[in-house]
Chain A
Amino acid sequence: MNTLPIYTGRLGRTWHYAFRAGCVLILLFLMLPILVTIPLSFNVEPYFSYPISGFSLRWYQELLNEPNWALAMKNTMIVGVCSTLIATFLGVLAALGLSHRNLPHRELISALLISPMAVPAVIAAVGMYFFYTRFGLGNNLLGIILAHAVLGTPFVVITVTATLVGFNDNLVKAARSLGAGPTRAFFKVKLPLIAPGVVSGAVFAFATSFDEVVVVLFLGGVEQRTVPRQMWSGVREQLSPTILAMATVLTLISVLLLLTLEGLRRRGERLRAGV
């Protein structure tokens, strides 16, 4: 890393290293819980402390055999995929509208569209409970799908709007002048160019649904339990190593999602530099 100037005194030197050590400690604090729990999920004994007596996959085995977890994983996938599709479709359309050159009340509209991100989860969940149950959407996967789509749309709107800011509209004009219809110009030129933004938004929306527990607590019944919901009740009753196994799987998925985003960001930068 950056080296110290030759004239730095002893105090400066001490400070420099102390500061770095402190920062490394803070980074460790951020990484620690994840790093500590992953090995424990492979512990052969159901204890939560080190040293680990032996490695085994028995908790992962149990995860697969337990019907509750299987149902939870199925529900999580259904809810995640459906809500992401809804959020992405609606969010991309709205972002295209918001990117209009001089839209009156743009700030107000976008503030309204991203407001689900700002409202504390409990309040949204209470409101959805009051309102959805009236239409038979309580204890129903559709209710949770809609709720998660709501929570995911702000991310899609934000990422796609940000991508459109850097979009060169002349490319669409060029396509049109070369004879492409508006639909064709959109799907062949504009959409591929903003695709990294669309996919990042979708990844954000999916991750949001994937991690959401409060709405599910309020809106979901036993049949609608999702992975976070199952973990929640597991932690509150009796912490079992299967939960750590699930936590490890979830962390792995998060890492994959983060890497996807990082890849998309780099690709976006390359594209922008290329154009």
Chain B
Amino acid sequence: MTSITYTPENSPRAAPAGLSGSLRRAEGASRLKAYLLIAPLFLFLLFTFALPIVSVLWNSVDNPLFSRVMPRSSMALQAWDAARPGLPSDETMAVFAEELRAANRSREVSKLATQANFDTPGLRNLLIRTGRAVEREPGAVGRTQLQAIDAQWASRDTWAAMRRLGAELTPDHYLHALDLRRDAEGVSRQPTDLRLYMSVALRTFWISGLVAAICLLLGYPLAYFLAHAPARWGNLLLIMVLLPFWTSMLVRTVAWVVVLQTEGVLNSLLLALGLIDERIQMVFNRFGVVVAMVHILLPYMVLSLYSVMKSIPPAYVRAARSLGANAAVAFWRVYVPQTLPGVFAGVLLVFILALGFYVAPAILGGANDQMVSFYIADHLNNSLNWGLAAALGALLLIGVMTLYAVYARVIRAQRKDG
């Protein structure tokens, strides 16, 4: 190279603060350029992804309906101390009755009633009936009229419910998602017939754990087989693992319906072989869900284990063998410990992915095999209990993110060792 042309910007000699200042400035400029390149995606994700997630969290505590439709009585009820004996004041009840009459006229009472019923079953009826009745009252309405319409208006529990519903922010969706309830006396467990979500959570953990365990059981030997097969075969076998991984998840779920259903391929085969006498139910139950989930998640496990097994030098096992360990001892005490990071990462990954499953259980499971995602979708689309859907979603999100933090730590430790 014969000549280098320095422009004023990049010439080190032109820098007033000397070489180090110029370097720092160049570094700063290139860093700024890097941030500018990242910015578009960052902003895009902010609006299309991060804010939607925030809106889930917001909807899980937001409670705008009563405070909007019945602003004055909601405010007045917040001032009433539900923990102490006694009902709200007569003025509060009068304001409440007036606002309920207005809500009945503007037809918003049905929305209120639906919302109230999410809080306590039975309140829908009470609000609709009371709304109609106060509408028919000619003059001013208040305590006497309300309690004449329904004796429940003389109960502190009813007013405590109205107070809960009138708060702008509420913990109730979370309490509901944890099978708890608030009444005049404080927080307690839901009555047995209304408890649901703790068992859904347990079921979600149980199915995910079972799927992760089966994946490990099937994935470990398979990954070992792939990692120690000669290169020529290894690639082909790996493609056999990757192909199902690449096939649409929905296609595979549909395929399992075809294979497992009562009139399906597997039943016909077993029947023809004389292994069973009558067709057995294998879909729309737990079995079908677990089979499909294992099928979908097994490649993740195999690939996690495979990458670790590939990096294990064979010398250690050979050394153990030459020192007198038999094959089983060498495998168990020398080989397996070296794969533990992969085992841990694989199990964790499969477990995390399983927690959020929706499609496979919805198609292959029965009513008792649905996991938490199903209830989130159901509350959003069918019962329209958005607050509860959001609270369940937020709890699932917190669980998954915590586990991912652990997962990231495992992976980082693995890289440091490797």
Point out residues on A near B: beta carbons under 8 Å: 1-2, 12, 19-20, 22-23, 26-27, 29-34, 36-37, 40, 47-50, 86, 90-91, 93-94, 96-98, 100, 103-104, 109, 111-113, 115-116, 118-132, 146-147, 149-150, 153, 157, 177, 207, 210-211, 213-214, 217-218, 228, 231-232, 235-236, 239, 243-244, 247, 250-251, 254-255, 257-258, 262
Q: Are B247 and A254 in contact (CB under 8 A)?
A: yes
A214 with B49, Cβ < 8 A, contacts A2-B228, A177-B1, A247-B255 known? no
| A-B pairs under 8 A by CB, number | 251
- Chain B residue with the shortest CB-CB distance to A24: B225
- Scan B22-57; emit 1 where CB is below 8 A from any A CB, else 0: 000000001101111111111011001101111110
* Contacting residues, chain A, for B404 (C-beta < 8 A): 118
Contact segment of B122-130, B194-202, B238-246: B238-246
* Contacting residues, chain A, for B40 (C-beta < 8 A): 90, 93-94
A33 with B256, Cβ < 8 A, contacts A48-B261, A120-B373, A126-B393 known? yes
A232 with B250, Cβ < 8 A, contacts A30-B244, A98-B34, A127-B56 known? yes
Q: Are B49 and A244 in contact (CB under 8 A)?
A: no
B88 CB-CB contact with A under 8 Å: no
* Contacting residues, chain A, for B30 (C-beta < 8 A): 100
Which listed residue, A33, A126, A239, touches B295 by the CB 8 Å rule?
A: A33
Q: Are B263 and A30 in contact (CB under 8 A)?
A: no
A91 with B239, Cβ < 8 A, contacts A121-B356, A131-B52 known? no
CA distance A26 to B291 in the complex (A): 12
Contact segment of B133-141, B177-185, B333-341, B374-382: B374-382
User: For A36, A103, A127, A132, which residue has the most chain B Cβ atoms within 10 angstroms?
Assistant: A127
Given A1-B230, A36-B258, A126-B390, 14 more A-B residue pairs with CB atoms under 8 Å apart are: A19-B221, A30-B298, A33-B252, A33-B258, A49-B263, A103-B31, A120-B397, A120-B400, A122-B377, A125-B377, A130-B390, A231-B250, A244-B254, A258-B242
B77 CB-CB contact with A under 8 Å: no
Which listed residue, B52, B248, B267, B359, touches A214 by the CB 8 Å rule?
A: B359
Closest CB in chain A relative to B52 CB, distance in Å: 3
* Contacting residues, chain A, for B254 (C-beta < 8 A): 37, 231, 235, 239, 243-244, 247
A90 with B44, Cβ < 8 A, contacts A37-B258, A210-B248 known? yes
* Contacting residues, chain A, for B36 (C-beta < 8 A): 97
* Contacting residues, chain B, for A49 (C-beta < 8 A): 263-265, 267-268
Which listed residue, B39, B59, B248, B400, touches A119 by the CB 8 Å rule?
A: B400
B237 CB-CB contact with A under 8 Å: yes
- Chain A residue with the shortest CB-CB distance to B399: A120
CA distance A22 to B256 in the complex (A): 21
A228 with B250, Cβ < 8 A, contacts A23-B222, A218-B380 known? yes
Q: Are B35 and A150 in contact (CB under 8 A)?
A: no
B257 CB-CB contact with A under 8 Å: yes
CA distance A91 to B37 in the complex (A): 10
Q: Are B41 and A213 in contact (CB under 8 A)?
A: no
CA distance A81 to B257 in the complex (A): 30
A262 with B239, Cβ < 8 A, contacts A1-B230, A33-B255, A97-B37 known? yes
A153 with B53, Cβ < 8 A, contacts A122-B356, A122-B376 known? no
Q: 18 A-B Cβ contacts within 8 A?
A: A27-B222, A33-B252, A49-B267, A97-B35, A97-B38, A103-B34, A121-B358, A122-B396, A123-B356, A127-B49, A130-B55, A131-B51, A131-B52, A147-B48, A217-B377, A235-B363, A250-B248, A258-B246
B229 CB-CB contact with A under 8 Å: yes
* Contacting residues, chain B, for A103 (C-beta < 8 A): 31, 34-35
- Chain B residue with the shortest CB-CB distance to A146: B48
CA distance A255 to B295 in the complex (A): 18
* Contacting residues, chain A, for B34 (C-beta < 8 A): 96-98, 100, 103
B249 CB-CB contact with A under 8 Å: yes
Q: Are A126 and B376 in contact (CB under 8 A)?
A: yes
Which listed residue, A37, A91, A122, touches B41 by the CB 8 Å rule?
A: A91
A34 with B37, Cβ < 8 A, contacts A49-B264, A123-B376 known? no
* Contacting residues, chain B, for A147 (C-beta < 8 A): 48
CA distance A153 to B40 in the complex (A): 12
CA distance A163 to B76 in the complex (A): 63
Q: Are B381 and A2 in contact (CB under 8 A)?
A: no
Which listed residue, B239, B263, B397, touches A48 by the CB 8 Å rule?
A: B263
Which listed residue, B48, B261, B268, touches A150 by the CB 8 Å rule?
A: B48
* Contacting residues, chain B, for A254 (C-beta < 8 A): 243, 246-248, 251
Which listed residue, B33, B228, B264, B299, touches A30 by the CB 8 Å rule?
A: B299
* Contacting residues, chain B, for A120 (C-beta < 8 A): 355-356, 358, 373, 396-397, 400
Closest CB in chain A relative to B331 CB, distance in Å: 11
Which listed residue, A20, A90, A118, touches B225 by the CB 8 Å rule?
A: A20
* Contacting residues, chain B, for A262 (C-beta < 8 A): 239
Q: Are A130 and B397 in contact (CB under 8 A)?
A: no
Closest CB in chain B relative to A26 CB, distance in Å: 5
B319 CB-CB contact with A under 8 Å: no
* Contacting residues, chain B, for A149 (C-beta < 8 A): 44, 48
* Contacting residues, chain A, for B218 (C-beta < 8 A): 26, 29
B280 CB-CB contact with A under 8 Å: no
- Chain A residue with the shortest CB-CB distance to B241: A30
Q: Are B396 and A123 in contact (CB under 8 A)?
A: yes
CA distance A22 to B225 in the complex (A): 10
B290 CB-CB contact with A under 8 Å: no
* Contacting residues, chain A, for B265 (C-beta < 8 A): 36, 40, 48-50
* Contacting residues, chain B, for A153 (C-beta < 8 A): 41, 44-45
CA distance A193 to B115 in the complex (A): 58
Q: Are A236 and B393 in contact (CB under 8 A)?
A: no
- Chain A residue with the shortest CB-CB distance to B249: A211
B332 CB-CB contact with A under 8 Å: no
* Contacting residues, chain A, for B53 (C-beta < 8 A): 119, 123-124, 127
CA distance A109 to B249 in the complex (A): 30
* Contacting residues, chain B, for A231 (C-beta < 8 A): 250-251, 254
- 6 tightest A-B contacts by CB? A120-B356, A127-B52, A97-B37, A33-B255, A100-B34, A97-B38
